[in-house]
Amino acid sequence: MTKVAAASEDAGTFLFGRSYNILRKIVDRAAIGMAVTGMDGVVVYTNNAFEREFMLDRSASASMLHGFFDPMDADVVSALSDVFAGRSESYEGEHLCRGRSGTMIWALIAVSVLKSEATGDPLYVIIQAGSIDRRKQVEHALAESESRWHFALEAARQGVWDHSARTGRMFYSPMWRIMRGISLDEVVDDDQEAWLQRVHPDDRDRIRPSVTRQNKGEQGYDILEYRERHRDGHYIWILSRGKPVEWDEDGNVLRTVGTDTDITHLKEIEARLAHAASHDSLTQLANRPSFQTSVETALAGPASSYLMFLDLDHFKPINDALGHAAGDHVLVEVARVLRQHILPKGAAARIGGDEFAVLLYHPDKTKVYEIAQTVSDAIRSITVGHLPVGDLPTFGVSVGIVSLSSGMDFGTALARADAACYAAKRAGRGRIVMLD
């Protein structure tokens, strides 16, 4: 324990009065550091805890204000100056102080004025100080970690959500809001059902069981893909990853944390790639492999359906006379005709070159023939250029039709339709032949 002689009678009483022996022992053994100064700031007493943690200038005239606190800390210098000048009676704060090793450490400081019972005049300033340096180091490390985590998530454009089952409250990070067009200060309904109502109707029932299982703790790390309505009305694709991180003693989930990523652009690329893989690049009709899947599905089903094979008549002279650009134009126009008259009642594909195929879901053979005739007439009316009359043979299409039956495979069905088309060409082109 440090004792510094004081001139006043009160100081002597504090230091040497017998009635204070027990109190002094209690204070000396207290876990929190305590120092007592005169109103001039000169230290008259420090307990053991204070001396273990902090370093003071031991000269008789040294003020608590000099050397103990960081001189650049204007807040504590100003606050203690007010206390010693009698303008304030107390102060609390967290500040850098000189530690036992001489380096500055963080401490929680509580300052109060002790007055004379007789006169009411201020006699001492009592300073209680406890090191919080370790806590500050942990806070700093956490802040650094959080800033890195925040930067990584924001840079990756991932929104964070945090659901508390205790309170039902949800936390949404700024990026979570930005990707949905929600302002940072807007209050978002915490109810999980309100979120599900923003999910696309086609996805809502699909993801609801997974959400329920996660809420019950029946599954751990969960990944969902769904569409959610943006504030401006359109839908965005979300990749959501969530994981329970806190449970009660009965194993019930108390808290779930997750990240959301806007994958709309990826979904658009995925859709374009899927379309490119299943469609002819020129006409944008289904390609042969994709069309085969449609036919095989029809063959496996109970409904009646028909397969048409279409081969353009006198197409080569168009390429020869007008060039391949004109030929491509004709093929694109044929595709337009098929889309107009066949879809969505069936499927249409470019099989190769100037050959097309059509799948019609229809039980009436007569109606199928009428559709084929309508298509043939529309194709024959396609404008192929402005050549003098007689320079090109009549342009048109030959059509072969077969009824699909059980036990037939795609290859057999297509071969039979091709044979019917060949029969139409032999009969003079521009004809329709339907085989039983």
Task: State the catalytic residues.
Answer: 354
The letter for the amino acid at 210 is S
Q: Is 432:399 a contact under the CB 8 Å cutoff?
A: yes
Whether residue 314 contacts residue 394, with contact meaning beta carbons closer than 8 Å, is answered with: yes
Rounded distance, CA 380 to CA 36, Å?
109
| Residues 228, 235: Cα–Cα separation, whole Å | 5
Q: What residues pair up with 226 in beta bridges, in sequence order?
A: 238
